[in-house]
Amino acid sequence: MVIVFKPNASSEQIQNVKNYLLNLGFEYHFSEGKEVTILGVIGDTKRLVPEYFLKLDGVSNAFRIQETYKLCSRTFHPRNTRVKVDNLVIGGNDIAVMAGPCSIENESMIYDIAREIRRSGANIIRGGAFKPRSSPYAFQGLGEEGLRYLRAVGNETGCPVVSEIMAISDIPLFEQYVDIIQIGARNMQNFALLKELAHMRKPILLKRGISATIEEWLNSAEYLASKGNQKIILCERGIRTFENSTRFTLDLSSVPVIKKKSHLPIIVDPSHPMGQSDLVIPMARAAVAAGADGIMVEVHHNPAEALSDGPQSLTFKQFENLMREIRMIAEAIGRNIASNEA
Ligand code: PEP
Ligand code: MN
C-alpha cells in the first residue's frame, strides 16, 4: 500500500498517518521528494483500507501496489536506491566498472590482471572461485583458495571485490573474503539461497536468469529485500532466445524497463551473452549509453589460454580502449566513470 501526501501536508498530518500505522504494527518506508512525498507500507496490508486514508487530512491518494514485487517497485520507493560499497556508490551518477577474469586460476594471474585493469580505471575486481560450469569435466574454480587471493588483491589495489556464491554452506567464506556477493544466472531462482543471503549485510549482485522474465527477476530481488537485504544490484547478462549467433541474447531493453519499474541499480554484463571479445566491446559501450549503472566485463592476460571463457575475455589493450570510450559516452550523458583511486 502506498500513501501519497498533498504537496502542502504538514509534518503533523504526516506523523498522524505514521502513528496510525505503527499502532497497527506496520513498518513503512518514508520517501520525501521534491515532487512527491509518500509512505510505502510494509507487511500484510490486506488489513488496511485505502479509503480510510483518503479521508485523512494531508493525504492526496492511497492505493495498493499492483506488482507482485512491492519493496523493489518504483511505486513504493520513487527515488533511486544507491548501494554503497566502500567509497563507491552504485546507482548514483557514477558508473561502476567491474572487471577481471572469469575464474581465478592462480595467485599471480589475479594480481597481474588486477593491477593492469586498475591502471586502466576499473573500480571493482571480479573473479570466480566457485564456477557454475555446464560440464562437470570443466575447471570448477579454486574454491576458498581463489577467494583468499581475490581478497588479498582487493586489499593491495584498494578495490572492492565481487565473486559468485553457489551454495548456502559457503556463506561464511563469502562473509570473510568478498565485498559484493554475486548470485549467478543459474541460481536466480534458488529461493533457499536467496533467503539465506537476505540475512547478510553485504551488497548482492543478482544476475538475471537465463530464461527469466523481468518480473521473475524482480520477484527474486524481492526475496532478498523482503527478508532484510535491500542492497541489491541487478545485472543483465542475456537470455536464451532462438538466436544462436551469440551465446545468449543481450536484452539491453531491460535497462530502461528496470529503471521504470524499480528503484534498484542495474548493471550489464556484455561478456557472457556475446561470447566473443570483439562483440563484447560495442555492447559494453551500448550498455553505458542505455543508462546502466555499471558494466561487468571479463578480462584475461592471455585469453587463448584461459581456463574458462577465454574467447569472450578482453585483452588488457582492449579493456584500456574500452575504458577510454566509455568515459566519453558517460560524459555525453552527464555521468562519470566512478573513481576509487587512492
Ligand atoms: C560469471 O559471471 O562468472 C557467470 C558465470 O555469469 P552468469 O551467471 O551470468 O552465467
Ligand atoms: Mn565467465
pLDDT tens string 226-268: 989 999 999 999 999 999 999 999 999 999 999 999 999 999 9
State the ligand closest to the CA atom of 306: 2
Q: How much is the pLDDT for 119?
A: 97
Q: Is the CB of 237 under 6 A from ligand 1?
A: yes
* Residue whose C-alpha cell is 510505502: 40
**Residue (of 298, 190, 289) closest to 237 by Cα position:** 298
The preferred substitution site among 165, 237, 266 for testing ligand 1, maximizing ligand atoms within 8 Å of CB, is 237
Cα of 273 from ligand 1 centre, angstroms:
10
Interatomic CA distance for residues 221 and 125, integer angstroms:
23
Q: Specify whether the backbone of 208 is left (phi greater than 0), alpha (psi in -120 to 50) or beta.
A: beta
Residue 175 — pLDDT band, cuts 50, 70, 90?
A: very high
pTM: 0.95
Share of the chain above pLDDT 70, in %: 100
**DSSP character string of 275-329:** -SHHHHHHHHHHHHHTT-SEEEEEB-SSGGG-SS-TTTPBPHHHHHHHHHHHHHH
Query: Average pLDDT of 192-220?
Result: 98
Q: Is the pLDDT assigned to residue 222 strictly greater than 90? A: yes
88: enclosing H helix or E strand: strand 88-90
Q: Is the pLDDT assigned to residue 44 strictly greater than 90? A: no
Q: Is the CB of 267 under 6 A from ligand 1?
A: no
| Virtual torsion, Cα 161, 215, 336, 321, nearest 10 deg | 70
Q: Is the CB of 255 under 6 A from ligand 1?
A: no
Domains of the chain: 2-63 (3.30.70.1140), 83-337 (3.20.20.70)
Residue nearest to atom 3 of ligand 1 (CA): 102
- Please report the atom of ligand 1 found closest to the CA of residue 187: 8
Q: How much is the pLDDT for 341?
A: 83
DSSP code, position 128: B
CB 308 within 8 A of CB 131: yes
Cα of 246 from ligand 2 centre, angstroms:
14
State the ligand closest to the CA atom of 310: 2
Residue 313 — pLDDT band, cuts 50, 70, 90?
A: very high
Interatomic CA distance for residues 287 and 267, integer angstroms:
8
- Please report the atom of ligand 1 found closest to the CA of residue 103: 3
- Please report the atom of ligand 1 found closest to the CA of residue 207: 9
Q: Is the pLDDT assigned to residue 342 strictly greater than 80? A: no
CB 233 within 8 A of CB 90: yes
pLDDT in tens, 62-109: 999 989 999 999 999 999 999 999 999 999 999 999 999 999 999 999
**Residue (of 48, 37, 33) closest to 5 by Cα position:** 37
